[in-house]
Chain A
Amino acid sequence: MTTSADTGIFSVSGERAAIETRGLTRRFGDFTAVDGLDLTIPDGVIFGLLGPNGAGKTTFIRMLVTLLPPTSGEARVAGFDIRREPREVRRRIGYIPQLLSADGGLTGYENLMTMARLYGVPRSERRERVRDALSAMGLSETAGLLARNYSGGMIRRLEIAQAILHRPRVLFMDEPTVGLDPVARRAVWESVRSLRESSGAAIIITTHYMEEAEELCSRVAIMHRGGIAAIGTVESLKEEAGGAESLDEAFVHFTGSSMESGGRYRDIAQVRKTASRLG
């Protein structure tokens, strides 16, 4: 199951790929948020979906985690069809939405217990798994505090802990460090890296921070207006872009626009809302 990040973009069996999409499309009225995406993501990599707000990253993720039915096309996650076998998909994925998703009225420990029970982690293993997840995310000391008293970075790490209790094969993180200060951001990156090493799950991250993609992702797809403008390793993309110094430059090369151009009012409002709630 250790498909290397650099080989086998299209796996034939369908069982070995963490994600496979064919012509995946989602329209909202006249607006096409995701436009016929064909993408295969192998097992065990940290994969970055890169693009400005409004590029279609969140819509794409919400289809893969079975929250949004596609308008057309199909997708398999962890080997199961998102439309026909959504429950099988849900059993095998972890999902950390962009917006705050830990319950502020519960302690860190209670937040984890809730997810362990909902996912059907056997009773005899719950305590141990919760304890392990807490210590993996550096939250053992603060497990008894209400989550509403956590800092933004701690909440993100709590959410990661919640999403890995059932040992998912694919972990989705939508803008994991939006609204975090640089120190908290580094701590979240650290957690994600150690998670990849310890779990072997494929980790799908959406981000509009170039730095984040460079730090974490072994493979990157650049999304632009609902489609994929380029895909490859960070290095190969820089090369393709004529020896660009950074992913930023590569992004301009592939999309003809800078990261700053995108973003509708609603997205911006939402990002700021998240930022203020987390901060």
Chain B
Amino acid sequence: MTSHKSARQQAGSDRQGLASLIFRVLADFFRQTATILWVETVKIRRDPFSLFTRAVQPVLWLGVFGTVMARTRAIPTGSVGYLEFMVPGVLAQSVLFLSIFYGISLIWEKDLGILSKYLASPAYRPALVTGKALAAGVRALSQAVVVCVLGLLLGARLVLTPSSILGVLFFLMLGAALFSTFSLVIACLVKTRERFMGIGQVLTMPLFFASNAIYPLSVMPGWLRTLSSGNPLTYQVDALRALMIPGARSAMGLGVDFAMEAAVFAVLVGIGSWLYPKSIR
């Protein structure tokens, strides 16, 4: 009790003490987040094979679905060709599919004692969650290379200025962080891998179809458009389109896209941090 009190008094007694406390907390938080990010990226580097398996889906969506649909000219995409229209959609979708199953690793760590050991350490819970989310973001970056190269090969014209590339990478990281944290939250709530995979399967398609990934909002019936406007994937696709397609404008505005995704991400980190310790009880 005594040391507890003295720590409080020290922090409250002068402003300098408070500032240094805040600095220490932030420094700890960033170091712990970076540690988890480092652990996960080391493991990603050791598994280059998954790079290829993850490339299969976007190749099919762009190379088969996209090429066929572009020839039918069935979907009105304005002045933009359908293939161009689809590249950002497929990119966002492949990152969603990749991230929504990210939580499986947490179930593994929960079943073993790894998560228990992390949680018995002084690491902040939000740092443990954020580190994982950022690692999912890093993993998503390879998808950007695959999808963009493929899109260019198929003849899509894309904006390739440094600022647009940086913007795309930033939004990809944010989107992957958001959906992977959603996945971590689910992983906290379910006990078995099988159930987790089932829930993941159930979630991906509705998130995908209730978005503007492969058709514009303008062709949707009213109820679907309403659903879509609450779907973070819609904002992700909107931002990617504005950044990648020549002459394209964001329907919602990049600021809104960012604010929406960042807010959802922050809420999910909060929920995840709260559920993390509960998940091993």
Contacts and interface: CB of A to CB of B under 8 A. Distances in A.
Given A67-B280, A101-B114, A118 B35 contact: yes
A277 B280 CA distance: 19
Interface of B: 1, 3-4, 28, 31-32, 34-35, 38-39, 42-43, 46, 111-114, 116-123, 277, 280-281
18 contacts: A66-B120, A67-B120, A67-B280, A81-B4, A91-B122, A95-B117, A95-B120, A100-B112, A101-B112, A101-B116, A106-B43, A114-B35, A115-B121, A117-B32, A117-B35, A118-B32, A118-B122, A162-B117
Given A97-B113, A117-B32, 10 more contacts: A65-B120, A67-B116, A95-B117, A97-B117, A101-B112, A106-B42, A114-B35, A117-B34, A118-B32, A118-B122
A84 B28 contact: no
A87 interface: yes
Contacts of B34: 117
A117 to B, nearest CB: 4
A142 B10 CA distance: 45
B121 to A, nearest CB: 5
Interface of A: 62, 65-68, 79-81, 84-85, 87-88, 90-91, 93, 95-103, 105-106, 110, 114-115, 117-120, 162, 277
Contacts of B122: 87, 90-91, 118-120
Among B38, B43, B121, B280, chain A packs the most CB atoms within 10 A around the CB of: B121
B110 to A, nearest CB: 10
A79 B3 contact: yes
Nearest to A94: B120
A96 B122 CA distance: 15
B251 to A, nearest CB: 41
B132 to A, nearest CB: 13
B92 to A, nearest CB: 28
Given A67-B280, A100-B113, A90 B121 contact: yes
Nearest to A273: B111
A118 B32 CA distance: 5
Contacts of A84: 4
Contacts of A66: 120
Q: Considering the complex of A and B, which 8 residue pairs feature the smallest CB-CB distances, nearest first?
A: A97-B113, A101-B113, A99-B113, A95-B120, A117-B35, A90-B122, A101-B117, A105-B43
B4 A118 contact: no
Contact of B121 (A62, A85, A118): A118
A85 B122 CA distance: 11
Contacts of A119: 121-122
Given A84-B4, A103-B114, A117 B280 contact: no
A133 to B, nearest CB: 15
Contacts of A65: 120
Nearest to A117: B35
A114 B277 CA distance: 19
Contacts of A102: 114
Contacts of A81: 1, 4
Contacts of B35: 114, 117-118
Contacts of B111: 99
Contacts of A115: 121
Nearest to B116: A97
Contacts of A110: 39, 42
Contacts of A114: 35, 38-39
B114 A118 contact: no
A79 B28 CA distance: 23
B123 to A, nearest CB: 5
Contact of B281 (A68, A93, A118, A277): A68
A80 B123 contact: no
Given A65-B120, A119-B121, A106 B112 contact: no
B54 to A, nearest CB: 18
A88 to B, nearest CB: 7
A66 B280 CA distance: 12
Nearest to A162: B117
Given A79-B3, A88-B4, A118 B118 contact: yes
